[in-house]
Each structure stands twice: as structure tokens, then as C-alpha cells.
Amino acid sequence: MKYLICSFILLSNLVSAQNSIELVQWTDEPCDSDYDPHLLVNRISSITEDQGVTSVTINFHDNCCPQFDPSVELKGDTVFFYIWKENKGSCSCTCCFSMRYDLKDFDTNKNYVYYFQDAKVKESDDPYPVKEPVSELYNGMEINRENKYGFKEGLWITFYDDGRIKSESTYPEHNMQSRSFPIESKSFYENGQLAHHYRRDARENWFEDGELWSYEYRYEKGDTSFIEEMSKFSNKNLREHSLEREYKVIIDNKVIAGLRDTGRISETVYIKEYYENGQKKHDFHINKDTSYLWYKTGELERLEYRNGSKNFSKNGMLQNQSFNWQENDSQTKSRLVIWYRTNSTKLLQVKLLKTESFLSPKEYIWDFDLDGKLNKSPSDWEGPYPWKRFPELNWIKQ
């Protein structure tokens, strides 16, 4: 009798051991941008064994901001993998992840059925649904290929009704993205003239007669990157020609003393803009102290200096002018704006904006009567009038 009881206990323990799997640890990989989360099939990508520990890797799509809490359950010959019991992801986007479960007491010789988040999954090398690849032949070349996932690869050509080429686009080989952009693309007018030519670092467009319409070139010199652009109006007059650059800088952290940050600065090197009638609109160069802005009729609209600006009406009257400065050894930036009455040289208002670090600007306003004399000052202003620092403003009446 004792022998039967012992045998029953041993058998029960054995069955219990065979019906449990221990999750030793788990490891997740960050969002993988190489795959399309909207098409990805949840799957087991690998099952490996090392020194008694079986590692099962599952690739899946989930909320971009997950809070994983993995677990594993064995019920009969079915293994249930979970990444969480309650989804607490808070983002409105979807990402591709992988999770590796390291397991003990996993029988690699057994044909388990696998479930992931209560949906059946299989071991597969394919991240997407598989279909029959397709392609076409053109002059002995294979074109318009779709791989086994339905994604475009290689050379794609479209045609006008008369058989002439309308566009050519080259897609990456072994493409794993359904919405990938061509590496290079061209389009043609019906007369055969090249209309557009796009590459990763250049874009060009032509008029139907072959004259260049616009371009954008991207290139690098050292750690500085440049973007040069040109465009014309439909009447072929120049619309704009510009150059921008971006480069790395190391700056002092304004919050934590002694800490230095690495950042990048973007700036315009030059820009020339025109109206459709050919009249100049804007002229700026970083190495020149003054830039100009004109009305369409040719009158000067705005002058910009390194430390200020002037704005004019169409009849040439000065509307306002500004002065910018920063005190020595100070984080405070100041901007003084002088406003004039409409079509008059009489003063209307003076406004001072003082900005310190990341704080909102502090504003001070002085109002003037019809004769240009000061009649109202800010109650919280102390010290000399701010315009006293500029000799050219000594004419302002107190």
C-alpha cells in the first residue's frame, strides 16, 4: 500500500513538472523601424537551446509606449506567451518589437502549439504575409517587380498610351517596407523631354522645352551640411535662389553650470527672392551687414541690420525701427521698437522687450502725444530711458 502511495506521489510530481515551464528571464528589443508595423505578422522567429535553457524569440507589433510584463503558461501541449495581461500603452502609434523568453523545463522534442496574447502563432522566417512574386518583361529587362511580400523592388516603368516612357523609378532590392520611396526617379513629358529627376541628395525639374525650372542640392563639407535651392516662375523669371547650412556646435548649458551641450545651428547663408515681374523682393547675405526687402512696385519695404531693422510704407515713410542688444556678461536680451504715427515723423510709442534665458519677455511701453512729447511711462520702470543709449534717438522729447 505504501509503495502504491509513493508511486502515485512520484507520478503526480512528474506530471506536474511536465505541465509547467519556468520563465527564467526576458529581454525586449526597442522599436525596429526596418519593418512596417501595420503589416507585420506576429510570429516566432527563433527557438534555440543552450545549457538547459530554451530561448524563444517572438516578433510582434504593439503600442509604441508599452509597459511589458511578460509571462508564460503551459496548458497540456499548448504554450501561452504573454507580454502583458493588461495593456497600459499610452501612445497612439504602433511599433515593431521582439521579445526573447528564456525558459526552463521546455521540452524541445515536443510538438507544442503556440499562442501569443491569446492568438495562435507559428515559427516563421517571414515577417509579412507571403504571396507569389510578380514582374514584367520590357526589352529583355525584368521590370515592375513585386517581392513575395508585395513590395516594389528594382526598376519600375510607366508608359504613355503610345508606348513612350512616362516615368522610371528604382526601388531598393530586398525591400522590407511597403511605403518605401524610390532611390531614384524620373518623369518625362510626352515629347520625351525630362521633366523631373529625384535622387536622395538632389531634385531637379525642367520646363517642357528643356530649360531648368528648379533644383535642390544637398551636400556636405566636413561636419557642415548645405542645401542649395533655385526656382523660377512659370514665365521663367527667377523666383528664388538660396543657400542654407547646418553645423555642429558645443555650447554651455544654461541650466546646469559647467555642463556643455552638443547642438546644431541652422542658418541662411544667402537668399535672393524676386516677384513674378522680375522686381527684387528680398536680398540677404550672411556676410553683409544689411539685408533688403522691397514692395512689388519697387519701393523699399524693410532694412534689416545685425542689431536692428527699419520698416517703411509704400510712400517711403518710416513706420517703425528697432534696436537689439545684450548687456555684457548677461543672459538678458533687449529689443527697443520705435513706432511712428501713420504718414508722419511724429513719435507714437516706444516699446522695450527684455528677455532673460527661457522666461517670457518683460514689456515696457512709453506713449507720446500728438506733438511727439512723452505723456505716459510704465510705472515699474527704473533708471534712464532706454533710448538714451542710442545717440541717433536724442531727438525724442521727454
Contact 95, 114 (CB under 8 A): no
Phi then psi for 101, rounded to 5 degrees?
-100, 120
Contacts 24+ apart (CB under 8 A), 293-300: none
Contact 267, 245 (CB under 8 A): yes
What pLDDT was estimated at residue 113?
96
What pLDDT was estimated at residue 360?
85
What pLDDT was estimated at residue 57?
97
Query: What distances in angstroms separate CA 231 from CA 186, 204, 210, 214, 328, one per listed residue?
Result: 18, 10, 14, 4, 43
- DSSP class of 132: -
Query: What is residue 122's three-state secondary structure?
Result: coil
Query: What is residue 360's three-state secondary structure?
Result: coil
What pLDDT was estimated at residue 175?
87
What pLDDT was estimated at residue 259?
62
Contact 187, 204 (CB under 8 A): no
Torsion angle of C-alpha atoms 339, 340, 345, 350, degrees rounded to 10: -40
What pLDDT was estimated at residue 88?
67
What pLDDT was estimated at residue 11?
38
Contact 300, 313 (CB under 8 A): no
Contact 296, 282 (CB under 8 A): no
Phi then psi for 272, rounded to 5 degrees?
-125, 120
CA distance 83 to 38: 19
What pLDDT was estimated at residue 108?
84
Contact 244, 258 (CB under 8 A): no
**Side chain identity at residue 328, one-letter code:** N
Question: Please, which residues have CB within 8 angstroms of residue 139's CB and are 6 or more apart in sequence?
Answer: none
| Strand bridging mode 22-29 / 94-104 | antiparallel
Question: Please, which residues have CB within 8 angstroms of residue 392's CB and are 6 or more apart in sequence?
Answer: none
What pLDDT was estimated at residue 250?
78
- Comparing CA positions, the residue from 281, 338, 288, 333 lying closest to residue 309 is 338
Query: What distances in angstroms separate CA 51 from CA 21, 103, 123, one per listed residue?
Result: 16, 11, 22
For the chain, the first-to-last Cα distance in angstroms comes to 117
**Per-residue confidence of the chain (398 residues) as pLDDT tens digits?**
444 444 443 434 444 445 689 999 999 998 998 899 999 999 999 999 999 999 999 999 998 888 899 999 999 999 999 998 776 667 888 999 999 999 999 988 899 999 999 899 999 999 999 999 999 999 999 999 999 999 999 999 999 999 999 999 999 998 888 778 899 999 999 999 999 999 999 999 999 999 999 999 999 999 999 999 999 999 999 999 999 999 988 766 655 565 666 788 899 999 999 999 999 999 999 999 899 999 999 999 999 998 999 999 999 999 999 999 987 767 789 999 999 999 899 999 999 999 987 778 899 999 999 999 999 999 999 999 999 999 999 999 87
CA distance 121 to 397: 84
